[in-house]
Amino acid sequence: MESNYLYYDPVKLFNLLLNFNHCVTKPAWNPTTCQYDVAITTNLLPLRQCYQTATWNPTTCQYDVTGEQPAAQHVLCYQAATWNPTTCQYTILNR
C-alpha cells in the first residue's frame, strides 16, 4: 500500500537540527495522535555592531553577543575623536 507520509526517525531529526542552530524539543510520543511531537524554533542571527560577534549557544538556544566598542584614541587638545560606525574606527578631527 502506498503512503503519502514521509517517514523520519525523530531522534535522528532532533540530532540533525541541533547542528543547524535550531532549538528542538526532544521527541515525545503522543499516544492520542500516534505520532512524535517535536517543536522546532529557529533563531535568526541578531543585529550586531561592527565590533561584536554572535556565537550560537546550543545550551541556551540563543546567540551570545560579545565585543565592546574600542576605547577612543588619545588626541591632542585641539583634536576630537569621533566614532564612525561605518568604518568601525575613530575619526580624528582637526589633524
Q: pLDDT tens digits for 46-72?
A: 899 999 999 988 788 788 999 999 999
pLDDT (0 to 100) of residue 81: 93
The confidence score (pLDDT) of residue 27 equals: 77
Contacts 24+ apart (CB under 8 A), 3-12: 10/36, 10/38
DSSP assignment of the chain equals ---SSPP--HHHHHHHHHTTTEEEPPPEEETTTTEEE--EEE-PPPP--TT-EEEEETTTTEEEEE--PPPPPP--TT-EEEEETTTTEEEEE--
5 has pLDDT over 60: no
Which ranges constitute the DSSP H helices of 1-95? 10-18
pLDDT at residue 1 in the model: 47
Per-residue pLDDT at 91 exceeds 50? yes
**Whole-angstrom Cα distance, residue 56 to residue 40?**
16
